[in-house]
Amino acid sequence: MQGYCPSRSAVTKFRAEAIYVEFMKQWNVGVYFSLRFQEIAGALDSALATTSLIPVHNSPSGNGSSQDLTLKQSVTLLESLRSCWREDFLILSCSDKFLRLTLQLLSRFSNWLSSGLAARKMGNTGSNAGYEWAASAVPNDFLYIIHDINCLSTEVCGDYLEHVLQLLSSCSADVLDLVKQSILQGGKSLNDLTPLAINAITDALVDEAVKCFEHLVTKIVAQGLKDVKAIATTFRMTNKPIPSRHSLYVSGLLSPLKKDFLDMEKHNPYLTRETIKELRYGAATEITGRYYDMVVEIVSVARKTESSLQRLKKGAQRRAGVSSDVSDPSVSDTDKLCMQYFLDIQEYGRNLSTLGVDAKEIPAYRSLWQCVAPQERQNVIDL
């Protein structure tokens, strides 16, 4: 009968008629919704229960359209959300239940994604059923996730919301506002997942870079973070002159990241300029933080050791009756060590700039500069 109504307002008027209301009372609406609930929610649960992310092959339109979704899990979520408000599914008297189901679907997807990313970060994906996909995911997979999150959020907060509000246009303004705010909050919950996915990519890239460093070291190539420690041995108890150029290992610190970023930019059409900027900064910050931790520990030990040796030397001089007031004009091993690291971090900063990252914007780099720079150069970072 509704098919003969010439407009949406006519459908609304038809449904408000007493005879229509009496007719609908003859049906068990609760059972109907229960069946629809199982059908809609069950489809999403099945998609999220898979042990890996399932790609769908679409050609990117480049405009952020929902048709650009790249993963089966995301496509199923959008289909389930739309099913809640299909005219051949929806019964207005159950609209509150379908709204609740809509929000539950968004929450289910968000929890699936956030829990998987958290389990991956903690390294316990294998012990949690349903999170296997996170363990097997590679950086490109997370780029697809970020892309789909953006598409889903745009759709939910845009055309999807407008469609729901049109269907419920006969409701009061207060009810419509409540519906609008609840759906917008659901869309925001999707957007909140983007930083988690970016962090997952950063962690994967940094871990891969560190493994590469360690591999190079085992091959006796003068690259990688372990060579940072070797510098201390070079200057300890030797007569080596003050260093004048950076160490060879510096060129290898960022080379794995450069390769990974180049591969992603070439082969992933969904990598946006904003995302690559965040990834570069995040990965560079993490690598620099590890670099800083290693250097500051070595320099701290060297300074403490030198201070202890100086106290012992002065004590021996006093016992021998030799004046200890005259300062030693020679450059200490610690000074040479710091100068070598200073030359290294200058080169490292220049290498960061080739990645599009300003070293001065990284807190750990500024701290590293303060740790090893000569006194007269500590206030200004000059690469």
pLDDT in tens, 39-69: 999 999 999 999 899 998 765 554 444 457 9
pLDDT in tens, 259-283: 777 777 776 777 788 888 888 888 8
Length of the chain: 383
**pLDDT value of position 54:** 92
Tokens of 382: 């000059």
pLDDT in tens, 161-183: 999 999 998 889 999 999 999 99
Which of 315, 107, 311, 301 lies closest to 193, judged by CA?
A: 107
List, in order, residues 6 or more apart from 280 with CB less than 8 Å away.
Answer: 257, 261, 355, 356, 357
**Residue 71 pairs with which residues in a beta bridge?**
55
Q: Alpha-carbon distance 138 to 208, whole Å? A: 11
224 φψ region: left (φ > 0), alpha (ψ -120 to 50), beta (else) = left
Q: Alpha-carbon distance 320 to 24, whole Å? A: 109
Q: Alpha-carbon distance 300 to 337, whole Å? A: 11
The Cα-based distances of 192 to 74, 146, 306 in angstroms read 16, 11, 50
pLDDT in tens, 330-371: 667 788 888 989 999 999 999 999 888 999 999 999 999 999
HSE-CB at 279 with a 13 A cutoff on CA atoms is: 28
- Lowest average pLDDT, out of 93-107, 149-163, 254-268, 281-295, goes to 254-268
**pLDDT value of position 322:** 59
Sequential DSSP letters for 37-77: HHHHHHHHHHHHTSSS--B------SS--GGG--BHHHHHH
* More confident position, 236 or 377: 377
**Residue 55 pairs with which residues in a beta bridge?**
71
161 and 180 in contact (C-beta within 8 Å)? Answer: yes
Alpha helices in the chain (DSSP H): 8-16, 18-25, 29-48, 72-84, 95-122, 132-136, 139-155, 161-167, 173-191, 194-218, 226-235, 250-253, 255-267, 273-319, 333-354, 363-372
Q: Alpha-carbon distance 292 to 287, whole Å? A: 9
- The whole-chain average pLDDT of the chain stands at 82
Tokens of 200: 């997952």
Which of 259, 269, 155, 197 lies closest to 53, judged by CA?
A: 197
257 and 201 in contact (C-beta within 8 Å)? Answer: no
Which amino acid would we find at residue 200?
A: A
The pTM (predicted TM-score) of the whole model is 0.70
Tokens of 26: 């003859």
